[in-house]
A and B are shown apart, each in its own frame.
Chain A
Amino acid sequence: MKKLAALLFIFILFLSPFAIAEEGTTETTQPSPPPTEPSPPPSETPTTQPQQPTEPIAPEPSSGGGGEGGGSPAPPPKEHKEDSQCPPPPSPSCNQDQRAEPFYQNGCLSGYNCVPRDGQEGPRDQPPESRCPPDRACMKGEECVPCPGQGQQFQNIPPGCHVEQGEFGEFIKCEQDKRYEEEKKRGEEDCRKHNGKFIIRPGTTAWECVAQGQQGFFQQGQCPSNEQLKQIEDQCSASKGKTEHFRDRSGCEAVSCRQEFSQGHGSEEEKIKFMALGCEEQGGQFVFDERGPNCIGGQQQIRINRDLKPLDGVELLKVALEMESVIQVFNEISAKLESLENYYQSKGDEEKAKAFEIALSQLDGAMNRLDEIRIGLAENADSLQEEDRYAVLGDMQQINSIIKDVAVTLLTGGKSKRAATQRFEKRAEGGFESEFEGPEGISQEEGFDILQGFQNCAEFSEDDPFKFSPEPGVSVKLEGLKDRNCVMKVNPPEMPGEITLLLPPEVYQFFDGPHLLLRDDVECSPDFACKMMRQQLQREARPPERFGEQERQREFREGNVQDFQGPEFPEPRGRFEQPKSGELRPSQCDGAELNNEECAKWAINTNTLEKIPQCKGLTEEQCTKLLKNSWDRAFENKGFEQPQQQFPQEFKGGEFKQEFEQKGYPSPEQFKQFEQYQSQYPQQYNYPQQQFPQQSFQGSSSAGFCGDGSIAPSLGEECDDRNNKDGDGCSASCKVEQQPVAVANVIKNFGDWMRGE
């Protein structure tokens, strides 16, 4: 009998997974949100611009937009207004088998929902205690949202606008408005006079004139001049606009002048119309959703705070850890997009499958770039430079903008033609190529447009490419996506064929110059022509590295735990860090506490001499001497003992290190201990800029100063390398800098562990 019961139990166990799988095909779950405390988005980078910077527009009760908190209609809201303040409610009209249930909006009785009488089955997915208005009849969390495919009841559509039905939603489309066009034209002309760039902020009724620098295709961008900044400021105060100071993604000082369209002060309907027009012009889609009138997507300007707050290594590592959680969410969304692509492919609906392929490519690029940033932050946590932060912040905003584009692609089923694309197409019709060619090359605005063209690569095709000429005689075409990569074709002068390049998403979506074409992951054919092109680019373009990407590529090339596998000689790290050859030792030697001679022998034993750049053509013995002597000198000059004894024993050789090496990741408790240790020894971790001014110049003249080459313990100096730079072993405030390797590995391994790699 017992055996029979056991068998029955096993049989049930077998059946249960199939039951779950069956259930899973009819219901989708939300990915778990990353463990970041939700905070309101900054005003310059709203996620979907639900809140307007000036008076928010509350849609009429019948609009279907809930505005803030607009959701479940029953029970009556606490802030229920007196009847005298509300318009008279419509009278209910329900069938015999239904009863009328009131729903409220903005504190007023807005209408009645017809719901089945007690004892009858209610709508699917709708809890009996909560009734939603008919235009938002489905529950999502605690909010009423439109059911899939259910049209919203747009009843306060401004004149000249209409509702357009998309595959996965409805949008507000407005015809061009003469007053809007005239005002825009005036603003554009005025802005151009002051050497600015005219932009419309998506989802607002305002336009802006932004001072911007020069951007060529082959040349690195230049910051706007002080004169240019002043021109915009003066013009802004004269026209009573609102000035905003910020930094662009290159870290340049920038200023913008914001002006409201005169209709922005008009009626709600006019405001909505202008918002819709501005939204579409910037490539967004204007909708009424549960939060009211809303612009989804649209080109965003990258704006970074002028003064960055000081961040220490621990805070940066925490951010890197949080990024790992965000990447998990990216992965979950990617999986869903892939399912959608597969579904439509199996159904033979190529158009929709293509739309989801585009969305996947967009998301892949953003995710990979975020991962590069994560690794870059982890590896450079102790020596992050200000320009790195600007680059990181710029790319983070770009990632956010890509996410909004993905939402637009999803909602429109890929049918949306962005404004930028249309502008390029118009130019092409009017002789695009000749416009770009000229003795002085391309203009400033064209330079920006070309970079934008790369970012919009998904919207072009072989039949409808984006064409430009970066220099006389050279023509370039972007032909859309192939296997999620952007197809770029280059026709150099006097060459019979063309060069084809495939740019991966993390390249074309963050394209900021041809130096990125030199990356290893950019495929190029035919070989001989690519070689020539690369040589040309190496002469003309800046180095190809971006923050974090070299660290990430190294991880891929050599495995995730490469620090414990073979000697890693410090390499130049792009534009951020250029350690001199032979100046620093492989990080493993510090970890294993080897002296310079032992380290040199270990490096030679575990590697070939050819791979040690300093030892080419030398014997083993000569190489050992050379390495030892150069490291001895380097340590001597830097004024610290080797190997570095910065970690207390319990961290360096004790429990932490052993377990870290065995498991490859720290326990939360150990991470906490590590943090405590860092707070006990703040001099090693505090952002050096905070200490620099006092420590460098205090004390008597005989005691010297930080940067004079001699160590002055009376000033708290631990080293002095004749400079006031961070990241070279001796900080700007003459404190010995901790090697970031151990800390970086904590993040890297923690991330890999979380992903189960």
Chain B
Amino acid sequence: MKKILAIILILAALSFSLAACSENTEIKSDEQAKETVVNLTGDLDTLGKSLDNLNEKLS
């Protein structure tokens, strides 16, 4: 019984981590796509600022 429980627990943990890894990677609707694009422009803005910061440190 313990072995079965252990296997089940491992499987559960595996499926949990798989789900965590795959979350947000699939887009299923136009609405979600638009929202992703809006968020992406914000992300790109943040990225630009980080690069500016690195540029400043190297200058």
Bitwise, B18-48 to A at CB < 8 A (1) or not (0) is 1110111111100111111111111111111
> Which residues of the other chain, A, contact B32 by a CB distance below 8 angstroms?
25-26, 28
Across the interface, name the chain B residue whose C-beta is closest to A31: B43
Q: Is the CB of B36 within 8 A of A340?
A: yes
Given B15, B25, B54, which contacts A323 in the complex, CB threshold below 8 Å? B54
A350 to chain B, nearest CB (A): 15
Q: Tell whether A495 is near chain B: CB-to-CB under 8 Å.
A: no
Q: Is the CB of B34 within 8 A of A33?
A: no
- In the complex, A45 Cα to B58 Cα: how many Å? 14
> Which residues of the other chain, B, contact A13 by a CB distance below 8 angstroms?
9, 12, 16
Q: Is the CB of B43 within 8 A of A393?
A: no
Q: Tell whether B57 is near chain A: CB-to-CB under 8 Å.
A: yes
From A149, A325, A339, name the one whose CB has the most chain B CB atoms within 10 angstroms. A339
Q: Is the CB of A41 within 8 A of B52?
A: yes
- In the complex, A332 Cα to B39 Cα: how many Å? 12
- In the complex, A522 Cα to B28 Cα: how many Å? 36
Given A25, A29, A45, A333, which contacts B44 in the complex, CB threshold below 8 Å? A333
- In the complex, A33 Cα to B12 Cα: how many Å? 30
Bitwise, A7-35 to B at CB < 8 A (1) or not (0) is 00010011011101101111111110110
Q: Is the CB of B59 within 8 A of A393?
A: yes
> Which residues of the other chain, A, contact B26 by a CB distance below 8 angstroms?
25, 339, 342-343
* A20-B23, A30-B42 as given contacts; A45 in contact with B50, CB under 8 Å: no
* Interface size, B (range): 35 or more
* A329-B47, A329-B50 as given contacts; A396 in contact with B5, CB under 8 Å: no
A37 to chain B, nearest CB (A): 7
> Which residues of the other chain, A, contact B16 by a CB distance below 8 angstroms?
13, 16-17, 20
- In the complex, A400 Cα to B52 Cα: how many Å? 8
* A36-B50, A311-B58 as given contacts; A20 in contact with B19, CB under 8 Å: yes
Q: Is the CB of B48 within 8 A of A400?
A: yes
> Which residues of the other chain, A, contact B50 by a CB distance below 8 angstroms?
33-34, 36, 322, 325-326, 329
Q: Tell whether A197 is near chain B: CB-to-CB under 8 Å.
A: no
Q: Is the CB of A329 within 8 A of B43?
A: yes
A144 to chain B, nearest CB (A): 13
* A340-B27, A410-B37 as given contacts; A403 in contact with B58, CB under 8 Å: no
- In the complex, A336 Cα to B58 Cα: how many Å? 30
* A25-B28, A140-B42 as given contacts; A392 in contact with B58, CB under 8 Å: yes
Q: Is the CB of A3 within 8 A of B1?
A: yes
Q: Tell whether A411 is near chain B: CB-to-CB under 8 Å.
A: yes
Q: Is the CB of B55 within 8 A of A42?
A: yes
- A-side residues, CB < 8 A to B, are 3, 6, 10, 13-14, 16-18, 20-21, 23-31, 33-34, 36-39, 41-42, 45, 47-48, 140, 145-146, 148-149, 168, 304-305, 308-309, 311, 315, 318-319, 322-323, 325-326, 329-330, 332-333, 335-337, 339-340, 342-344, 389, 392-393, 396-397, 399-400, 403-404, 406-407, 410-411
